[in-house]
Chain A
Amino acid sequence: MTIASQVKQSLASLKSIHAGFQSLALTSNDEDVQRTFHEMMMLTEEIIEDVKTRVGQFEQEEPQYKGF
């Protein structure tokens, strides 16, 4: 079993990556660049969903990993 805290850390990093893409998409000047960042943001969302599911799973299996 992977260490739950590490996975949670990655989840937090992913959320910050998501926010980074979002803010770059907003402040960038060029439409193509904006579109690229937006697409990357959507991809990151998918990854976040997967990881959240996984975290949910082991919070159920081992309740001591719940919360921070």
Chain B
Amino acid sequence: MPNWLEVAIRSFSVIIGLFLIMKILGKKQLGRLSYFEYILGITVGSLAADISMDIELDLASGITSILIWLLFPLVISLISIKSKRFSDFVEGKATVFIKHGKVMEDNLKKEKYTANELLEQLRKKQAFSFADVEFAALEPSGDISVLLKKEKQPLTVGDVMNNVPSIREPQTIIMDGKILDEPLATHRLNRRWLKEELDKIGVTPENVFLAQVDSFGQVTVDLYDDKVEVPPPVTKQLLLASIKKCQADFELFALQTESQTAKNMYTKNAEKLTLIEQTVTPLLKN
């Protein structure tokens, strides 16, 4: 068989083989960037290239070699799950560089890090002053993880509001113009509801390129025609405004009415409305 054909067949087989093995190994192997996995990647790449090109090489030996290199970390991972001691020995543990704001010089020396290198790594994590750092550790992957002191951390929603509602992830329900039934079902909705919502905005499903539904059931769409303006969903804001208006009206009625029972009724209900308003504002305010 002509050389180029043989090379083509080999290359093809190696690509498919590698792909299948990567699928078996799973996402962890591809994601982790520890030193060993890095070398592994380079070696396997080199092996794959040699097998593809070099017709002198015995195909069986080549494949065996790749299999060993790729399955080895898989075996290590499996054993690591079973035995913590093994895992610590192979993967290593994080080394603490800064604890409670104090730099651990002995640990730095142990990992052969100069103070300059430490500062460089901190800057990479946006910590320009080591006074801002509460805790920093060197991970087995070589990366440094930095925990800033609480006063230097950015504000969170929980700091500003109490009773923050838990808001779930949005679901993409129309992608590339096609309605996706599974995300709809996850949200306990169906196509009929979707059609109604689209009617409310005034678009047909065929015009929609992309649509997402948020945790409250509000739909945001992107149309194929970018010149058309789609109004943003305002149901929540309108509801909140309505509540506020009713509350103000009731206070007015309480003032206007002459009957004492009516006054009491309006006042009591104005208070109820204030309670409702306070409860739902974090949910509706967006």
Q: Can you list 8 contacts pairing A with B, beta carbon distance less than 8 Å?
A: A10-B253, A13-B242, A13-B245, A26-B217, A27-B216, A29-B168, A37-B280, A39-B279
A23 to chain B, nearest CB (A): 8
- Residues of chain A from 37 to 67 with CB closer than 8 A to chain B in the complex: 37, 39-40, 43-44, 46-47, 50-51, 54
B76 at the interface (CB under 8 A from A): no
Residues of chain B touching chain A, judged by Cβ–Cβ distance below 8 Å, are 165-168, 187, 189, 193, 215-217, 235-236, 238-239, 242-243, 245-246, 249-250, 253, 256-258, 262, 265, 268-269, 272-273, 275-276, 279-280, 283
Given the complex, which residues of A lie within 8 Å of B283, measured CB to CB?
A: 33, 36-37
**Interface positions of A from 13 to 34, Cβ below 8 Å from B:** 13-14, 16-17, 20-21, 23-24, 26-30, 32-33
User: Which chain A residue shows the least CB distance to B284?
Assistant: A24
**Shortest Cβ distance from residue A45 to the other chain B in the assembled complex, whole angstroms:** 11
What is the CB-to-nearest-CB distance from B283 to chain A, in angstroms, rounded to a whole number? 6
Q: Which residues on the B side are within 8 Å of A21 (C-beta)?
A: 239
* Least CB separation from B280: chain A residue: A40
- What's the nearest-Cβ distance from chain B to residue A27, in Å? 3
Chain B residues lying within 8 Å of A16, measured Cβ to Cβ, are: 242
Contacts from A to B (Cβ < 8 Å): 1-3, 6-7, 9-10, 13-14, 16-17, 20-21, 23-24, 26-30, 32-33, 36-37, 39-40, 43-44, 46-47, 50-51, 54
Q: Give CA–CA (A6, B258) in the complex, Å.
A: 16
Interface centre among A7, A13, A28, A43 (most CB of B within 10 A): A28
Given A27, A44, A46, which contacts B189 in the complex, CB threshold below 8 Å? A27
Task: Select one of B239, B242, B265 contacting A50, CB under 8 A.
Answer: B265
Residues A2 and B165 in contact, CB atoms below 8 Å apart: no
Whether B217 and A2, one on each chain, are in contact in the complex, defined by CB atoms closer than 8 angstroms, is no
A17 to B165, CA, bound (A): 20
Closest to A23 in B: B217
By beta carbon, the residue of chain A nearest B256 is: A2
